[in-house]
Amino acid sequence: MPKINVYLPDELAAAVKAADLPVSAICQKALTDAVEAVGTARRAVAALRDPAFDPDGHPAFAERLTARMTAKLHRSLDLAREAAPAAGPVTTAHLLIGVLDERANLAVRLLETLAVDRDGLRDAAGAVSVDEQAATSAAPAAPPDAPASLWSGLTVPARAAIGAALEASIDLGHNYLGCEHLLLGLLADGDSGAGIVLHEAALDTATVQRAVTTAIAGFVHARRNAPPADASGLAQVLQRLDSIERRLSALEV
């Protein structure tokens, strides 16, 4: 049977040894579950890129995907729909506008860190959205009596951008889908309206991916290294922990 080396921090390795855990069995189960989850997610990515695929016709698929989405991403998608004309399709440019209008998400904070003008980016997305509507096709229409869903009115490129966002989340090893992943998904198609706007703002996938990785690592480190409470400074420590938790929550970590 092939062997795979698993490296652990010293403290964890000592704790595993002390607990006399069946490491091989645990690792096999965890890896089996991970392979299955990643395989399912990658099939979802491929499906979203297929113009003939109807997510609303596969409720379990749609439920699993939407369950991964953060509240801020859901809000961004609502704002994207509001930015689109009442009877018009929701394009990639509208998805970008939704992320920018939500404001309090990690994608917007990263853009600010990268010295990108949010308002200028939104204006550019608004200008290109009209042309993109005319140039792209909507996904298969739902029956007239069907209730509106997350996918209603999305163009095929917009739906593919959500698929690319899911792919970015998988590649980063994340178990959720946030606005930062959608930003990466929009960057993935340089010919889409949002892709053109983002690339003209001198953004690229590698730069944004590094920024996301750095931000997540930084906030996780802050959470893990918060100082322990002691009798003399309990109030101050609790205040610092509360402040850290608010920042983590605001950045969807």
pLDDT at 33: 65
Q: Report whether pLDDT(72) > 80.
A: yes
pTM score, whole prediction:
0.73
pLDDT at 229: 45
For 36-219, which CATH class? mainly alpha
Tens-place pLDDT, residues 96-110:
999 999 999 999 999
pLDDT grade for 246, boundaries at 50, 70 and 90: low
Interatomic CA distance for residues 120 and 99, integer angstroms? 14
Q: Which residues pair with 228 in a beta bridge?
A: none
DSSP state of 105: S
- How distant, in Å, are the alpha carbons of 6, 12, 23, 25, 201 from that of 16? 12, 6, 8, 13, 48
Within 8 A by CB and 6+ apart from 156, the residues are 51, 136, 137, 138, 139
> Whole-number mean pLDDT of the chain?
80
Closest residue by Cα to residue 107 from 170, 19, 182: 182
Structural domain boundaries in the chain: 36-219
Q: How many CA atoms lie within 13 A of 152 on its CB side?
A: 15
Tens-place pLDDT, residues 81-97:
999 987 678 999 999 99
